[in-house]
């Protein structure tokens, strides 16, 4: 697909020969009209893992949606200056890229360093790998698995062992040296999601062991009382540990889902316990920044009170959350791919 991006002042116009208006339709899973999404690898990755969740629930038409997403991801893959494959930030002059003055460039931490447009990011790469591995298993097409495997292997050393605690692993935020030594918990967990699905597709134990090392990192963060965005080895946390440890954000759901997958796929009871601790912290946050409207980045409702939020659906084995989940699903029968991914039932009630 040919994509043309024209920049006029601070406005980006994206023109594509094929837009999302022709994307395979799945009931209850609308396709946004934004033309920017036609070049956003994160949107396709999240849409794909949501479509796969629906497919497993019995929505057979979601199969074609997941395949279409996976094919688009193959076309959006990039190589960085060292020839390492992965998936980039959206290749347009978005508001976040305007500070760098170049489409696709990003100052990830607001420190004045701009990563070039071809930089792969762990968020985009982790979810892209999760998509491709699942579609590979569903279709038997090796091209998806090859792309996923190459990207994971190319990014294998972009992080630290034992940075959080013995036995842990933490990926950096991106492939670029600007982000070396930055420990963002949801970013690490997202790479873990990709590794879990790649292990399922390949049975290569090194992917399982790396996913478990990421889970170990989360275990140690939680044991230390850190519920914030940054890991406690990150310089931002070190500079203000009391504030950062309390900075519960909407990003925490990435970690919850990762830990639930670790528990479900590997029968890991510690991960299941840690997921429940994080979900409880999110749903019952009393910090000022957790007041309504702060969850709009991932939740459907503008008002993020628990009764109107899909987060309770993440653990249906907890009877206290079921009524809230049912109310949220009744109010919001249409969701995006990421939201369907979050609420795919892994732990369901054993009795009424």
* String of DSSP letters for 258-311: HHHHHHHHHT-HHHHHHHHHHHHHHHT--SGGGSTTTTTTTSSSSS--GGG-SG
pLDDT at 296 over 60: no
Last residue of a domain, one of 254, 269, 290: 290
Report percent pLDDT > 70 for the chain: 88
CATH number of the domain encompassing residue 184:
1.50.10.10
pLDDT at 218 over 90: yes
Listed in sequence order, the residues at least 6 apart from 77 whose beta carbon sits closer than 8 Å to its beta carbon are 41, 85, 86, 87, 128, 147, 151
Same domain, 337 and 239: no
Across residues 265-281, what is the average pLDDT? 96
Same domain, 115 and 242: yes
pLDDT at 351 over 70: no
Same domain, 239 and 342: no
Compare 263 and 248 and report the one with higher pLDDT: 263
**174 backbone dihedrals φ, ψ, rounded to 5°:** -150, 180
* Domain with 279 in it: 3-290
Same domain, 248 and 316: no
Same domain, 173 and 223: yes
Same domain, 310 and 340: yes
At residue 320, the pLDDT reads 85
Last residue of a domain, one of 248, 268, 290: 290
Contacts 24+ apart (CB under 8 A), 186-189: 186/123, 186/229, 186/251, 186/252, 186/254, 186/255, 187/121, 187/122, 187/123, 187/126, 188/122, 188/159, 188/214, 188/217, 188/218, 188/231, 189/214, 189/218, 189/254, 189/255, 189/257, 189/258, 189/259
Same domain, 196 and 317: no
Across residues 259-263, what is the average pLDDT? 98
Domain count of the fold of the chain: 2
pLDDT tens-digit profile of 87-116?
999 999 999 999 999 999 999 999 999 999
* Choice among 116-130, 155-169, 289-303, 313-327 with the minimum mean pLDDT: 289-303
Same domain, 232 and 343: no
Burial class (CB in 10 A: 0-12, 13-18, 19+), 159: buried
Hunting for tokens 């090392």 — which residue is that?
A: 213
CA dist 210 and 112 (Å) reads 32
Reduced to 3 states (helix: H, G, I; strand: E, B; else coil), residue 126 is helix
Contacts 24+ apart (CB under 8 A), 285-292: 285/248, 287/246, 287/247, 287/248, 289/247, 289/248, 289/249, 290/248
Q: Tell me the average pLDDT of the chain.
A: 89
Same domain, 298 and 229: no
Same domain, 275 and 325: no
pLDDT at 17 over 50: no
pLDDT tens-digit profile of 125-170?
999 999 999 999 999 999 999 999 999 999 999 999 999 999 999 9
Q: Specify whether the CB–CB gap between 124 and 72 falls below 8 A.
A: no
CA dist 228 and 140 (Å) reads 40
Same domain, 319 and 178: no
Same domain, 266 and 338: no
Across residues 317-321, what is the average pLDDT? 87
Last residue of a domain, one of 241, 260, 290: 290
CA dist 79 and 338 (Å) reads 26
Confidence of residue 177 (pLDDT cuts 50, 70, 90): very high
At residue 300, the pLDDT reads 47
Task: Enter the pTM of the model.
Answer: 0.92
Q: Specify whether the CB–CB gap between 228 and 246 falls below 8 A.
A: yes
At residue 292, the pLDDT reads 62
């Amino acid at each position: 697909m040919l994509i043309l991006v024209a920049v006029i002042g601070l406005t980006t116009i994206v023109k594509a020969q094929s837009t999302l208006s022709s994307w395979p339709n799945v009931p209850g899973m609308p396709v946004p009209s934004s033309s920017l999404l036609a070049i956003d690898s994160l949107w396709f990755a999240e849409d794909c893992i949501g479509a796969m969740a629906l497919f497993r629930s019995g929505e057979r038409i979601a199969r074609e949606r997941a395949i279409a997403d996976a094919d688009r991801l193959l076309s959006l893959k990039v190589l960085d200056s060292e020839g390492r494959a992965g998936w980039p930030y959206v290749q347009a002059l978005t508001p976040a890229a305007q500070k760098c003055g170049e489409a696709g460039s990003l100052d990830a931490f607001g420190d004045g360093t701009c990563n070039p447009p071809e930089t792969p990011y762990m968020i985009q790469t982790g979810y892209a790998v999760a998509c491709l591995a699942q579609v590979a298993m569903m279709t038997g097409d090796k091209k998806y698995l090859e792309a996923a495997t190459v990207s994971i292997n190319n990014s294998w050393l972009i992080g630290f062992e034992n940075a959080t605690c013995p036995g842990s692993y933490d990926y950096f935020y991106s492939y670029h040296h600007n982000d070396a030594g930055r420990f963002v918990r949801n970013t690490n967990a997202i790479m873990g999601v990709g590794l879990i699905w790649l292990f399922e597709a390949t049975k290569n134990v090194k992917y399982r062991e790396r996913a478990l090392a990421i889970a170990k990192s989360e275990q140690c963060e939680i044991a230390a009382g850190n519920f914030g965005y940054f890991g406690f080895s990150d310089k931002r946390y070190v500079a203000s540990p009391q504030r950062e440890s309390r900075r519960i954000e909407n990003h925490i759901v990435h970690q919850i889902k990762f830990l639930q997958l670790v528990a479900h796929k590997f029968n890991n009871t510690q991960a299941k316990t840690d997921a429940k601790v994080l979900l409880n912290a999110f749903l019952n946050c009393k910090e000022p920044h957790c007041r309504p409207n702060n969850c709009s980045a991932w939740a459907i409702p503008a008002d993020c009170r628990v009764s109107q939020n899909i987060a309770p659906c993440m653990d249906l084995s907890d009877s206290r959350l079921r009524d809230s989940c049912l109310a949220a699903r009744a109010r919001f029968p249409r969701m995006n791919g990421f939201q369907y991914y979050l609420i795919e039932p892994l732990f369901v009630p054993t009795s009424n």
